Amino acid sequence: MSTPEELLQKTEFDYVVVGGGSAGAAVAARLSEDPDVEVALVEAGPDDRGQDVILRLDRWMELLESGYDWDYPIEPQENGNSFMRHARAKVMGGCSSHNSCIAFWAPREDIDEWEQRFGATGWNAETAYALYRRLEQNEDAGPDAPHHGDSGPVHLMNIPPEDPSGQALLDACEQAGIPRTRFNTGETVINGAGLFQINRQADGTRASSSVSYIHPILDRPNFTLLTDFRARELRIDADDVCTGVDVVDSVVGRTHALTARHEVIVSTGAIDTPKLLMLSGIGPAAHLEEHGVRVRVDSPGVGQNLQDHPEGVIQWEANKPLPQTSTQWWEIGIFTTTEDGLDRPDLMFHYGTVPFDMHTLRQGYPTTENGFCLTPNVTHARSRGTVRLRSRDFRDKPMVDPRYFTDPHDMRVMIAGIRKAREIVAQPAMAEWAGRELYPGAEVQTDEQLRDYITKTHNTVYHPAGSVRMGPADDPMSPLDPDLRVKGVRNLRVADASVMPELTTVNPNITTMMIGERCADLVKQARVSAGSAGASATA
């Protein structure tokens, strides 16, 4: 592999995409389809090629708190687990190179809500679903599914029904009133359970955004991949035009100036994107001044509106040996509701055949090497957190405060989730599999006991979003307009999960890739419009 210094053969491009993650890889690949534009993709982490621990999906849990993880601690939580950490990928492909590759189209209601409730004009299910189809090649989404893309870069497949404990769990769900279902059929699953679809290739390689979008285009003469370069600050001139970005190489720590003739697209994720904007003078004025950062745009919504899927866990010993191989160890999803009248589920479970004890062991709960768990998570948590600068030094980790369970709705749903998990596993279909409940334990029954257990041991599904949300031009709390342009600065856009006004009901990784696809379309449209305007002016 080349060193960062060897990669940096030129510094001026038409478009510079900062962040080679789920959305950024899609933006760069699509923009570089035009041979007349030069595109650079800048990634702070290393290349993923040749890295088996990255590319083999069944090894994904080895990546947590590894050298491929930014591993952000969270601020002390008044109602949550202060030991929790946010895994954010430090490698090409971003979190699509770091996660379990659970692949979901968001419910239509989620995307329509972005437009109808939050004023993100143009972001609706019709547009999003066309982009989902464009980005994927879907092995099988069921006989009733609408036509799925058959030539997109991202390969989706059904998890095969090979795990007998998982099949027993699906039987138990049916006995508990939650029917079997297929996912990604175009219909919203309000109450149903099934095997996930995952973005994985047939040989077990994860179909990350890097594998899917970037590996096939590395020989394009107009595309430059710069790995191991970390963004330090956006370059913004006196006329509030973003002209590029200062990046620091990982070998000698030297700063280099990259120039963008047309636009910079920031795709560094829901934690690092607000950090980079604030370091560049775009954010809440008082906060920037506190850290000695020159204020270019007073944008109070930068770093606000942080959302996540908080996750609990309930674990059982298994009475029989569990499978020793898996696609990625979390193969089944369950959706249901905790109240009547909802158009989307407010509760989701992942089913894992692993000891999920990363927060229970320190609290003294027993563990096992042969156990299974259900992890209830709140699909639309109402608690909102913040991302803030720790200092003006780009090397310092930001202050991430999710403010878990500060809205009582979220704890109510989570407690209901623990009770629903017990109801499912108590069904006859699981009788031969379910042994002792290890945590929280059968003696933990009251709301107060469950609340205490959840507060001490909950985790996250690692889905931070919403911290640089898009919205109407006149909304001061939306730093972006619906075309993903940063308000107050020209030639600067954002494309990653931070732009979501509301986090999706489901695992958001495929939706984040979709955001990258749409961003590329918007940039291309702007280029065409600018060309047409120039031609008219000279006619």
Rounded to whole angstroms, the Cα distance separating 383 from 402 reads: 8
- Contacts of 340-343 with CB under 8 Å at 24 or more apart are 342/190, 343/109, 343/188, 343/190
CA 185 to chain CA mean position, Å: 21
Question: Whose CA is closest to 66, among 58, 81, 54, 82?
Answer: 54
CA gap 262, 244 in Å, rounded: 9
**What gap in Å lies between CA 134 and CA 152, rounded to an integer?**
5
Q: What is the C-alpha separation between 483 and 257, in angstroms, rounded?
A: 26
Known binding-site positions for FAD? 91
Q: Which stretch of DSSP H or E encloses residue 350?
A: strand 347-352
For the chain, helix (H) and strand (E) counts, in that order, are 12, 24
CB atoms within 10 A of CB 82: 13
Question: What is the full DSSP assignment across 447-502?
Answer: HHHHHHHHHHH-EE-S--B-TT-B--TT-TT-SB-TT-BBTTSBTEEE-SGGG-SS
Does 463 participate in catalysis according to the annotation?
A: yes
Per-residue DSSP letter, 250: T
Alpha-carbon distance of 238 to 265, in angstroms, equals 19
Helix or strand (DSSP H, E) at 134: helix 125-135
Annotated binding site: 91
Q: Which helix (H) or strand (E) holds 15?
A: strand 12-18
Give the three-state DSSP class for 264: strand
Amino acid at 117: R
**Side-chain-facing half-sphere of 66: CA atoms under 13 Å:** 16
3-state secondary structure of 88: coil
In this structure, the number of other CB atoms found within 10 A of the CB of residue 202 comes to 9
- Please compute Rg for the chain using Cα positions: 23
Q: What pairs with residue 314 in β-bridges?
A: 374
Does a cis peptide bond (omega within 30 degrees of 0) precede residue 440?
Answer: yes
The tokens of 352 are what?
């894992």
Contact 348, 367 (CB under 8 A): no
Report residue 334: phi and psi, to 5°: -130, 130
Give the integer Cα–Cα distance in Å for 208 and 98: 9
Three-state secondary structure string covering 27-58? HHHHHCCCCCCCEEEEECCCCCCCCHHHHEHH
Annotated active-site positions, please?
A: 463
